[in-house]
Amino acid sequence: MSNIVVFGAGVIGLQTAVSLIKAGYKVTVIAKHFPGDESTEYTSPWAGAQWRTHATADQTEQCQWDIASYKYWIDMTGKDAKSGTDSGIEIYPSYFYWATPTEESISPSSIWFTSHIRNFSVLPNTSMPPNTYAGILYDSIAINPPKYLASLLSHIKNLGASTIRAALPTETGLAGAITEAERLLEQEGRKRVEVAAFVNCTGLGARELVKDENVFPIRGQTLLARLPSVASPVKQQSSLLPPPAIYTREDEATPSITYIIPRPGTSTYVLGGTKQANDWTIAADTATTSEIIKRCRSLWPALREAEIEVLATQVGFRPGRKGGARVEVEEVQVNGKMKVVVHQYGHGGAGYQNSIGSAEKAVKLIKESIGRMTIVK
């Protein structure tokens, strides 16, 4: 059984660990942050999150990754609703709107993913909220990130994975991080273990670890909010919201996107948001908070007069990358030996919906690389 070390415990790193274990590998995850941590350095817990593809029809691989995740989650919840709930995922109707004419909004029925998702339909113009050009409806997945990440971590541990909490050095590059990882493994009492490959799932950290100048932050500010109860029989019907659903609108060319996402397993919603490239500002902006509430009230008419109780204002940094996600093999010389490294980072705001398919590609690359290195030896 070959040993693989994964750097990073965000959604990409943890899902890759799951996929590697299921493929027959022994896995160790080394990360500075794990589920339960609330550092701004740890991106995944701050996501919305929902299944909403960012891929265009010509981005074949990203399309495949997104559909792989969609089918996996739909199948999980379909076979065992409790399993989905325990993992922090749930199926909801998703209303998606465009604020301006685009190629997709002009002809929504021609969108590439319509044949891959459930219950797709084009919304009639008479049902559009304010400041909206066109809209579609389909079954999607809402994700409770802290719960989902915790379930992935529990899953890999139950499958036999090991974890090491440590901050790997970046000043000595990837070779230095690998050397430190091997030292940590020895420290854990695994002196005779030969690591067959390393997987770099460090997200924004790759900017320093491998000196990738294409990596950049995309700042997102969101609100965790409690909205009026859906099912309280003592309230007047007019004060209640309709059953939970996901609402999203691609706004005009600004650093904003409006969304309302129910958080599975709770009575809360995530309201958003912003997409601010190359912005490292950690502090939440009060004006942005007010603007998010205003946009969400406009997007979902049921919220216009409703009380919105803001429980928390959240800021996270999506791991953007010019040219898209990097999922490829590199052979690195470390102390006179060649080491196989599979890079898997830079998924931007698509980390959750990319995670299943991207992990499958990483496993494929590892299999091919280990096989090639064995032949060379």
Determine contact, residues 53/63, Cβ cutoff 8 Å: yes
| Number of Cα atoms under 13 Å in the Cβ half of residue 42 | 21
Annotated binding site for FAD: 43-44, 202
Q: Is the pLDDT of residue 232 over 50?
A: no
Confidence (pTM): 0.93
Query: What is the pLDDT averaged over residues 355-370?
Result: 96
Annotated binding site for D-dopa: 259, 318, 349
Residue 139's pLDDT is 97
Closest CA to 178 of 325, 338, 15: 338
Residue 228's pLDDT is 77
- CA separation for the pair 77, 145 (Å, rounded): 16
Residue 253's pLDDT is 61
- CA separation for the pair 53, 84 (Å, rounded): 20
Q: In this predicted model, what pLDDT tens digit does every residue of 322-340 receive, in sequence order?
A: 999 999 999 999 988 999 9
For each of the domains in the chain, give its residue range(s) and CATH number, in order of start.
3-45+148-214+323-376 (3.40.50.720), 91-140+216-320 (3.30.9.10)
- CA separation for the pair 130, 273 (Å, rounded): 18
Q: In this predicted model, what pLDDT tens digit does every residue of 155-209 receive, in sequence order?
A: 999 999 999 999 999 999 999 999 999 999 988 776 667 899 999 999 999 999 9
Question: In which band, very low, low, confident or very high, does the pLDDT at 231 lie, cut at 50, 70 and 90?
Answer: very low
Query: What is the pLDDT averaged over residues 211-238?
Result: 77
Cβ neighbours of residue 168 closer than 8 Å, sequence gap 6 or more: 7, 30, 32, 177, 180, 181, 209
Closest CA to 132 of 124, 140, 121: 124
Radius of gyration, alpha carbons of the chain: 22
Q: Is the pLDDT of residue 239 over 70?
A: no
Q: In this predicted model, what pLDDT tens digit does every residue of 247-301 receive, in sequence order?
A: 999 987 667 899 999 999 998 999 999 999 999 999 999 999 999 999 999 999 8
The type of residue at 217 is P
Residue 370's pLDDT is 86
Tokens of 193: 């273990």
Cβ neighbours of residue 120 closer than 8 Å, sequence gap 6 or more: 114, 136, 137, 138
Q: In this predicted model, what pLDDT tens digit does every residue of 105-150 receive, in sequence order?
A: 999 999 999 999 999 999 999 999 988 999 999 999 999 999 999 9
DSSP count for the chain of H helices, then E strands: 9, 15
Annotated binding site: 43-44, 202, 259, 318, 349
Helices (H), the chain: 11-22, 60-79, 81-87, 103-106, 145-158, 173-187, 206-209, 286-299, 351-376
Tokens of 43: 């991106």
Determine contact, residues 229/374, Cβ cutoff 8 Å: no
Closest CA to 275 of 253, 297, 260: 253
